[in-house]
Chain A
Amino acid sequence: MTTKTLNEKENVVVRFVGDSGDGMQLSGTLFSETAALDGNDIATFPDYPAEIRAPHNTVAGVSGFQVQIGKRIYSSGDNCDVLVAMNPASLKSNLKWAKKGGIIIVDIDTFTDDTIQKAGYTNNPLEDDSLSSYILVKAPMTTMTVEAVKDIFTDKKSAERSRNMFALGMIFYIFSKDLTHTDAYLEKKFKKKPDVVAANKAVVRAGYNFCENTDVLQAEKAKVEQAEMPKGKYRNITGNIATAWGLLAAAEKANLPLFLGSYPITPATDILIELAKHKSLGARVFQAEDEIAGICSAIGASFAGAMACTSTSGPGLSLKSEAIGLAVMTELPLVIVDVQRGGPSTGLPTKTEQSDLYQALFGRNGEAPCIVIAASSSANSFYYAFEAARLSLEHMTPTILLTDGYLGNGSQLFRIPKMSELPTINPPFATPNDPTYLPYKRNPETLVREWAIPGMEGLRHRIGGLEKLDGKGSVSTDNANHQLMVNNRAEKVQKVADRLPDQKVLGDEDADLLVVGWGGTEGALKLAVEELREEGKKIAFTHFNYIMPLPKNTGDIMKKYKKIIVCELNMGQFVNYLRMNFENIPFLQYNKVKGLPFEVSELKDKFKQILGE
């Protein structure tokens, strides 16, 4: 037996790509979960086409799943150390993500004249020199898979379905992961199909043994460092599930039924799907006939005393604009979750972007301020969903929570909190039979009105979208009253800042450059800044979750630094918002709208360039 080399690695990125339907999401998920159970930190991101089943073996039909595992994980990573490509089309479209010198594993059985041509290659890329700067592993995955299950499935089609497990087995070999979790998953998932369980188990082992027996990849075997995570109980969670659970947690804390009125839309649908499961927790979920009915039903539910939410993505937020204005006018609590995707219009439904910020801040008729907050990781979507609900309920103001496709579909390890650790939520309920109750009487400190719920005695009242008379709440077209009410609604939102935590800065006060981000880009920005600091650069970083209103110390931070660059996945929406709020600060900006997250390398290059100027 030869001595095995174990390369020590802090982090590695593995990318599984294949035809949509090849099971890449499953291979990726099982590898991620296994790594997490083994003590690695993880972050994952699925990358799938908008088509459910695009034509086979074409670039349009490629589905991918990327995971970064290791010690310090802020994102699913830029380029991959290992690329697993199940066919020529997936190799063709994903080669750009492979690190030079990295490993590329292909299923050589799929490289036929026909598929090579369909992928858009003129030559077989495995036979020309185009892959010479990678460690190329040509594994006969299809043949070996069919062979491994020949006693279970005789038809080739059923047999080949387990190819993704062969690839998974190979990856397990490289990173010395055990198969216990995968076995348990298969046994549970295919409880009623024992032959499928047996076949998949056999194939994952075949992949593993293929590496061991052929010595292929032996030199590449790696040990990935374990993460130093705070003690506690952990689980893997996607941003969309975390959002759904954060809303459930808020409803429980507020002791209110959760109502979700929603219409399916990529990439937000998983929130609706998840909440629909939880009737036992009192979640009242209504799949509406359209986006407008989704939010309008939520407004009705809020009027009737529920913790009301609606979930959507960009085009759906457009459709909801008028109704958000109604919630602003009626001063009812309402959480609007926008899982942003590439726009405008239908845009890039499965790709990520941060281009709905203007819409969230300004996309309504009239002076219609909402609270706007943004989650910045898949896992913290739980806390910011909770926070969106808390602020909305306590301040009687619609709150827009911005996440994005990258956070929503991506997953991360999540340290499970205890409900007792979360803050209480105290909506400003009116007191039944209070003779002094008026629908628009405000708390003088917070300017928040009271919430009188239908059914409560002695508090019958009417509200709606027409301008209200201050206090009494009857319809008013009085000029001075309108000015007063516009001011009150704006000031009520600004006063939320009194309760927000201070904006924090990572790095030195005297840094040469302050990097500013918001929302889903935190992981890449933070890593880029940390790495530059380790390289001795004087650079600082601040990342925003509270956007409207901004934390009170925002201006003080901005005044401290000579150079400030605001980085976002749009053409400059947050930077312009900052310019609007803080005149005379020469903000620089770095923007990208390619439907992709930031890469750490591009950020570092940009920051170095500015530092060098």
Chain B
Amino acid sequence: MAIEHSPVQLTKADFASDQMVKWCPGCGDHAILASILGIFPEIGYKKENFCVVSGIGCSSRFPYYVNTYGFHGIHGRAGAIATGVKIANPHLSVWIASGDGDATAIGGNHFIHLIRRNMDMNYILFNNRIYGLTKGQYSPTTKQGQITKTSPFGVIDYPFNPGELVIGARGTFFARAIDNSPKTLGEVCRAMAAHDGAAIVEVLQNCVIFNDKTHSEVTDREFKEERQLWLEQGKPMIFGKNKDKGIILKGNHLEVVEIGKNGITENDLLVHDATRENTGVHMMLAQMRPPEFPMAFGVIRAFKAPTYNQIFEKQMEEAKQDATIKCVDDLLNSGDTWEV
């Protein structure tokens, strides 16, 4: 299922669309678009072999702003549409742009199932914890208690944490990034593109109009170093302005420690291994949040497993090899037939 590469080196300009980008000034979506436009030429596939699919919402305008084959679907169904694209044509690199409402409310079923199947696609989940396009109703990721247009007395629902959903569905890839950090966003998207299978990146994205600063408790300059843990494969989990804090595994839970205190050294810290099959530590990392913990960013999980599409194509090949029925004429004349 190799995807054909471009014979020439492509540039950002090859993917620039002629459409006016209609997101609000200051919207986090602009940064995500810039990252993807930067990455597509790097990946090296022929420009005709990218297919970007979306559902409904601000983020779902994404396909119009990238000059690839694109499909702007209906609310929540991007995952299902993209699944059909990939099964029908495994030689395409399939990308999904979706929001927290699109992916985890109306499209929640498709979201968990494409993850469970390890469908080979790249899924960018723009999480701004609000319905933006319909102008400010709470979503499944909105914080409990928050006042929104449809929760004048505060949201009663407990929110979803997308990472828990992905890992709970035994996803093979989950990473988290922030819209205002282009470098790390780019790195995470690169890792996503390199992963075979359902790769989900949650981008903490700011909606300047309807949910401004929703992620500020982790993204504010003032304390971001204290509240962001950037994971690196094979490296101990260290964070903090002075790189003096770390994560240890104590019993069956994680704990924040200070390096140098109580005899703790770097060697005591948990070393990140995104490639493990076991979801236990990955789940705990995805669950971490302030104030008790920093929030984990970067590639939390990247476990190699056969994709749905690899197994599917193998079955197709094997069926063809062993077949006695090789065309529809064979089929029509198979089994009990007789001449009149």
- Using a CB–CB cutoff of 8 Å, the interface residues on chain A facing chain B are 33, 36-37, 39, 181, 229-236, 245, 248-249, 252, 257, 259, 261, 278-282, 284, 286, 288-290, 292-293, 296-306, 308, 322-323, 325-326, 330, 416-419, 453-466, 474-475
Task: For the complex formed, measure the closest distance between the CB of B326 and the CB atoms of chain A, giving whole angstroms.
Answer: 7
* Bound complex: CA A53 to CA B46 (Å): 56
Task: For the complex formed, measure the closest distance between the CB of A598 and the CB atoms of chain B, giving whole angstroms.
Answer: 28
Task: For the complex formed, measure the closest distance between the CB of A82 and the CB atoms of chain B, giving whole angstroms.
Answer: 24
Chain B residue contacts of A284, Cβ below 8 A: 87-88, 312, 316
Task: For the complex formed, measure the closest distance between the CB of B105 and the CB atoms of chain A, giving whole angstroms.
Answer: 14
In the bound complex, do residue B327 and residue A419 qualify as a contact, i.e. CB atoms below 8 Å apart? Answer: yes
Stretch in B240-248, B294-302, B317-325 touching the partner: B317-325
Shortest 6 CB-CB contacts between residues of A and residues of B:
A464-B72, A300-B84, A280-B323, A297-B84, A301-B88, A279-B319
25 interchain pairs (CB within 8 A)?
A229-B340, A259-B84, A279-B315, A280-B319, A280-B322, A282-B316, A284-B88, A284-B316, A286-B84, A293-B79, A293-B113, A296-B77, A300-B86, A303-B69, A303-B71, A303-B84, A304-B88, A306-B89, A416-B337, A419-B332, A455-B89, A462-B72, A464-B71, A464-B73, A474-B19
Interface hits, B100-116 → A, CB 8 Å? 109-110, 113
* B303 at interface, CB cutoff 8 A: no
A284-B316, A459-B48, A465-B74 are known; give 14 further A-B pairs, CB within 8 A.
A236-B336, A252-B328, A259-B84, A289-B110, A297-B80, A298-B84, A301-B88, A302-B88, A322-B74, A326-B74, A453-B89, A454-B51, A454-B85, A464-B70
Q: Which of A325, A416, A456, A474 has the most CB of B within 10 A?
A: A416
* B81 at interface, CB cutoff 8 A: yes
* Bound complex: CA A264 to CA B148 (Å): 40
In the bound complex, do residue B73 and residue A234 qualify as a contact, i.e. CB atoms below 8 Å apart? Answer: no
Residue of A whose beta carbon sits closest to that of B70 = A462
Task: For the complex formed, measure the closest distance between the CB of B112 and the CB atoms of chain A, giving whole angstroms.
Answer: 8
* Bound complex: CA A286 to CA B109 (Å): 16
- With A293-B77, A323-B77, A454-B48 known as contacts, the answer to whether A300 contacts B53 (CB < 8 A) is yes
In the bound complex, do residue B63 and residue A259 qualify as a contact, i.e. CB atoms below 8 Å apart? Answer: no
- With A323-B74, A464-B73 known as contacts, the answer to whether A278 contacts B316 (CB < 8 A) is no
Q: Select which of A234, A281, A306, A418 is within 8 A of B88 by beta carbon.
A: A306
* Bound complex: CA A591 to CA B326 (Å): 45
In the bound complex, do residue B340 and residue A232 qualify as a contact, i.e. CB atoms below 8 Å apart? Answer: yes
* Bound complex: CA A67 to CA B92 (Å): 50
Task: For the complex formed, measure the closest distance between the CB of A355 and the CB atoms of chain B, giving whole angstroms.
Answer: 26
In the bound complex, do residue B71 and residue A235 qualify as a contact, i.e. CB atoms below 8 Å apart? Answer: no
* Bound complex: CA A322 to CA B113 (Å): 20
* Bound complex: CA A326 to CA B84 (Å): 15
Task: For the complex formed, measure the closest distance between the CB of A169 and the CB atoms of chain B, giving whole angstroms.
Answer: 20
In the bound complex, do residue B48 and residue A455 qualify as a contact, i.e. CB atoms below 8 Å apart? Answer: yes
Residue of A whose beta carbon sits closest to that of B322 = A280
In the bound complex, do residue A300 and residue B337 qualify as a contact, i.e. CB atoms below 8 Å apart? Answer: no
Task: For the complex formed, measure the closest distance between the CB of B111 and the CB atoms of chain A, giving whole angstroms.
Answer: 10
- Using a CB–CB cutoff of 8 Å, the interface residues on chain B facing chain A are 19, 46-49, 51, 53-54, 56, 63-64, 67-74, 77, 79-89, 91-92, 109-110, 113, 312, 315-316, 319-320, 322-323, 325-329, 331-333, 335-340
Chain A residue contacts of B84, Cβ below 8 A: 259, 261, 286, 296-304, 306, 308
Chain A residue contacts of B86, Cβ below 8 A: 300, 304
Q: Select which of B48, B56, B316, B331 is within 8 A of A245 by beta carbon.
A: B331
Chain A residue contacts of B110, Cβ below 8 A: 289, 292-293, 296
- With A289-B110, A292-B80, A296-B77 known as contacts, the answer to whether A245 contacts B328 (CB < 8 A) is yes
Task: For the complex formed, measure the closest distance between the CB of A145 and the CB atoms of chain B, giving whole angstroms.
Answer: 26
Residue of B whose beta carbon sits closest to that of A36 = B338
Q: Select which of B81, B316, B323, B331 is within 8 A of A297 by beta carbon.
A: B81
Task: For the complex formed, measure the closest distance between the CB of A595 and the CB atoms of chain B, giving whole angstroms.
Answer: 31
Chain A residue contacts of B91, Cβ below 8 A: 455
In the bound complex, do residue A293 and residue B51 qualify as a contact, i.e. CB atoms below 8 Å apart? Answer: no
* Bound complex: CA A399 to CA B220 (Å): 53
Chain A residue contacts of B63, Cβ below 8 A: 462, 464
Task: For the complex formed, measure the closest distance between the CB of A32 and the CB atoms of chain B, giving whole angstroms.
Answer: 11
In the bound complex, do residue A462 and residue B64 qualify as a contact, i.e. CB atoms below 8 Å apart? Answer: yes
Task: For the complex formed, measure the closest distance between the CB of A387 and the CB atoms of chain B, giving whole angstroms.
Answer: 15
Chain B residue contacts of A249, Cβ below 8 A: 328, 332
In the bound complex, do residue A289 and residue B113 qualify as a contact, i.e. CB atoms below 8 Å apart? Answer: yes
Chain B residue contacts of A252, Cβ below 8 A: 327-328
Chain B residue contacts of A298, Cβ below 8 A: 84
Task: For the complex formed, measure the closest distance between the CB of B31 and the CB atoms of chain A, giving whole angstroms.
Answer: 21
Residue of B whose beta carbon sits closest to that of A229 = B340
Chain B residue contacts of A282, Cβ below 8 A: 316
* Bound complex: CA A308 to CA B81 (Å): 12
Task: For the complex formed, measure the closest distance between the CB of B336 and the CB atoms of chain A, giving whole angstroms.
Answer: 6
In the bound complex, do residue B340 and residue A234 qualify as a contact, i.e. CB atoms below 8 Å apart? Answer: yes
Q: Which of A326, A462, A463, A474 has the most CB of B within 10 A?
A: A462
Chain A residue contacts of B72, Cβ below 8 A: 462-466
